[in-house]
Structure 1
Amino acid sequence: MARTEYDQDWTIAAPYAEGAALQLARGLDRMRKLDRLILPSKLVKNAFVRPSGANVGDRSAQIGIEPSRLLEIAPSLEVIRLGARLGLFSGGRTDPMRAIRQPFDQAAAKIVRDANILLGMPGASARMFETCGRAHRVLHQVDAHPRARNTILSDVYGSKARRELLPLALVERIERELALAEVVLVPSQGVAQQMKTAGLDSSKILTVPYGVDRDRFFAECTTTREPGKVRLLYVGQISYRKGLPFLLEAVKGQKVTLDLVGPRVAKELIDKLPDNVRYHPVVAHHQLRAMFNKADAFVLPSVEDAYGLVVGEALASGLPIITTTATGASEVLEAGDGHVVEPADTLQLRRAISETEPLPSLERLARAANVSGRVSAGRLNDWDRFTVEVLDGVSGAAKRRGA
């Protein structure tokens, strides 16, 4: 791989702890190219749920960067997030992450004016990009194009998914950020095509698939398993966007069990679950790893999904994958990895599930070894390669623009 000279430090500003942004910060810090990682302060939350003495050092250690590189700002954002979650503001409950994006942007804009390369996130970067002076602006477009997202959800569900539609003000804000950015970092060709269809200059688009985390997720040889049905695992938001209505319909009456893990965005979807479905709130990494190693297959039936980081985690754990062509991570799957079906197609999803069989431990280990081999051969990214490819792409773009 051709390498460019990494002669500029990075500032990453994220309104929440998004997985790929944290992995990039970790990689940049190891290469001594991270100036700052800016995140909302957890001071208010820590006062209630953390023991005394919790500090920036604790959080930086969890992320995997030097404490001096983490800058926590605006403790009031946690109050806004909790208020949105509890429905304390006008309009009732709203997406907590959506509620804090613009306030985070306004707070961060005051401290990024000296940045060299500034990476921001959708809906939380417009003010920073407008005021950051000479910085090279990178938009970490972790989501679909906002208009494409809204169109897909409306076409598939009609008014049922209206709470998951992005409001026009946020759509226009993200479009402003896309225009201001000098590089738009996307994780899949599907999102890249959405951007081109929306009129974005293709020369601004940098497509780098996300990495497989083999440090936290790996196959384990389980010597015992409970007898009975095939076990399926879903990890992600309980939402229309993730295709939950089709999955729940597809497993009805099948000789499988399905474990759902993730935050509830559309709570009505799990009000009356089929008898073979169990719901779990968000779990810790070590608990999730154990759940991967007890499952026979992983299923992510999204109708719109820019990538799906959890697909890489499932691959690293040695699981077969059942997903859709609307999931960006489907682009990195190879023959033998599982099933890729059309989105919003219960019949195809049901057929793929019916073909799933119990996964012996030795096969799980062999699948995980195959994934490691693909990473070593460069056919699949790990997070180190992701970091290098992002650095190469952004540094090259900066040089072309005379930064």
Structure 2
Amino acid sequence: MRALHIITGLGVGGAEQQLRLLLRHLPLDCDVATLTNPGPVATGIRADGRRVFHLDMRGNRDLSALPRLTGLIRHGRYDVVHTHLYRACVYGRAAARLAGVRAVIATEHSLGAAQIEGRPLSLGNQALYLASERLGATTVAVSDTVARRLRDWGVPRPRIETVPNGIEAARFRFAPAARKGARALLGIPPGAYVVGAVGRLVPGKRFDGLLRSVSALPQARLLLVGDGPERENLLRLASELGCADRMLLPGESSDLPSSSAPPLPVLLAAMDVLASPSREEAFGLVVLEALAAGLPVLHVTCPAIDELPANEAPGARRIGPEPADLDAALQQHHRAWALGLPTRLPVPRAVERYDISRSADRLMAIYERAAGARIGNQVSER
């Protein structure tokens, strides 16, 4: 079986890095096509031994990409086409059908209650999504929350499968020596209290409110991992609050040599608590990664954890969405830390539940169901 994964772009982002991780665990021949931006994750996928094709798409309405993508699929003789992110789902499903591939799978990574991939939902993009969805075989939701939103949109229940994102937990295992080294690298005093956060620097992540909360804690540092259009606004706000020297912005993190920041496991080792103040998340991957590192977590929403029994992730505490809720939760944790609260917790059972190899196995089963009849016919003809 051969599969082509189509994604909108390969900059450093959650869906993009999840695709790279998944490719390492799928036991079949896979290529990747990116419509735009063959960025750092494309470099990583190539380093892992997979081919990456760049379609050089100029914008959402660049229809010339459709015949190029159709030709790529037809020439590659792929049994399965798997699309990721909105634009790739719309163009990829159409191109696969034109190329004669009916085993078309799409993963919905970032569908919120009122936005998709950080952009406000509209009747137009919803209608286009549903029209293209009918060209596929299965739509994969990364959480039960996303599956419910897809059903509410009008995607038929039998066409939806839930396959959660996954992590390689061993990469994040905490070691005291790693904590010491990470803090030395970042210039953080060994005994400082460090609040961490990870994500794209955009308004929806609500990192400005987190910065205000941390600025009110005596001598606390905010280690904010990521990059995006809000970077300058956050720097300006930190200056206004008088805590510019207590906010660290190392940039986007990946395990590539070109990364502007150390790998995420190193940065998590430097933290005392991870905060996720976003009101809309489709899954909440960084919360799982923090739990795998033994960190306590304060989150407003995280479907990966919120959908589980509370005893599976005791280190994750759900808080209210208002700024005062975050203030109170951080102040409480800071007081407990000052009294000698351990900086690390046992890794909870939830982390094992989301092992990436399990996600890969479930996807393989979907591929085989979607492509099985066609492959069987081809074998018979030969």
**Fold equivalence (TM over 0.5):** yes
Asked if residue 340 in structure 1 is aligned to residue 340 in structure 2, the reply is: no
Asked if residue 355 in structure 1 is aligned to residue 355 in structure 2, the reply is: no
What are the residue-to-residue correspondences of 1:378-393 with 2, within 5 Å? 380-393=353-366
Asked if residue 322 in structure 1 is aligned to residue 290 in structure 2, the reply is: no
Alignment partner of 2:137 out of 179, 182, 194: 182
Alignment partner of 2:7 out of 11, 14, 18: 14
Asked if residue 272 in structure 1 is aligned to residue 237 in structure 2, the reply is: yes
Q: Which amino acid aligns with 2:89?
A: S
Q: 1:328 to 1:387 in 2, by over 3 A?
A: same
What are the residue-to-residue correspondences of 1:1-400 with 2, within 5 Å? 8-17=1-10, 18-28=16-26, 31=27, 33-39=28-34, 59-60=44-45, 62=47, 64=48, 66=49, 69-74=50-55, 76-77=56-57, 80=58, 107-113=68-74, 114-121=77-84, 122-130=86-94, 131-144=98-111, 148-150=113-115, 164-165=119-120, 170-222=125-177, 224=180, 226-255=189-218, 256-267=220-231, 269-270=233-234, 271-273=236-238, 274=241, 275=243, 276-285=246-255, 286-325=262-301, 327-331=303-307, 334-342=312-320, 344-357=321-334, 358=337, 367=346, 370-371=347-348, 380-396=353-369
Distance in 1 between residues matched to 2:147 and 2:286, nearest whole Å: 20
Distance in 1 between residues matched to 2:36 and 2:70, nearest whole Å: 15
Distance in 2 between residues matched to 1:179 and 1:329, nearest whole Å: 31
In the TM superposition, residue 141 of structure 1 has moved relative to its aligned partner by 0.7
Q: Which amino acid aligns with 2:169?
A: R
Normalising by structure 2, we get a TM-score of 0.75
In the TM superposition, residue 192 of structure 1 has moved relative to its aligned partner by 1.0
Percent same amino acid among aligned pairs?
20
In the TM superposition, residue 388 of structure 1 has moved relative to its aligned partner by 0.3
Q: RMSD between aligned alpha carbons?
A: 3.7
- Contact 2:6–2:35, Cα closer than 8 Å, also in 1: no
Deviations 1:131-156 (A, max 9, x none): 242331111111115xx3339x9xxx
Q: 1:312 to 1:328 in 2, by over 3 A?
A: closer
Distance in 2 between residues matched to 1:173 and 1:195, nearest whole Å: 14
- Contact 1:261–1:280, Cα closer than 8 Å, also in 2: yes
Distance in 1 between residues matched to 2:361 and 2:342, nearest whole Å: 32
In the TM superposition, residue 179 of structure 1 has moved relative to its aligned partner by 3.0
Distance in 2 between residues matched to 1:109 and 1:319, nearest whole Å: 46
Structure 2 unmatched ranges of 5 or more: 11-15, 184-188, 256-261, 377-382
In the TM superposition, residue 391 of structure 1 has moved relative to its aligned partner by 1.6
In the TM superposition, residue 194 of structure 1 has moved relative to its aligned partner by 0.8
SS at match of 2:327: helix
SS at match of 2:217: coil
In the TM superposition, residue 329 of structure 1 has moved relative to its aligned partner by 4.8
Q: 1:217 to 1:104 in 2, by over 3 A?
A: farther
Q: Which amino acid aligns with 1:20?
A: Q
Distance in 2 between residues matched to 1:26 and 1:245, nearest whole Å: 36
Deviations 1:206-228 (A, max 9, x none): 11221122353321213757255
Deviations 1:182-217 (A, max 9, x none): 211111111111111112111111112211223533
Deviations 1:348-393 (A, max 9, x none): 22222122254999956652xx34x665xxx512111110012224
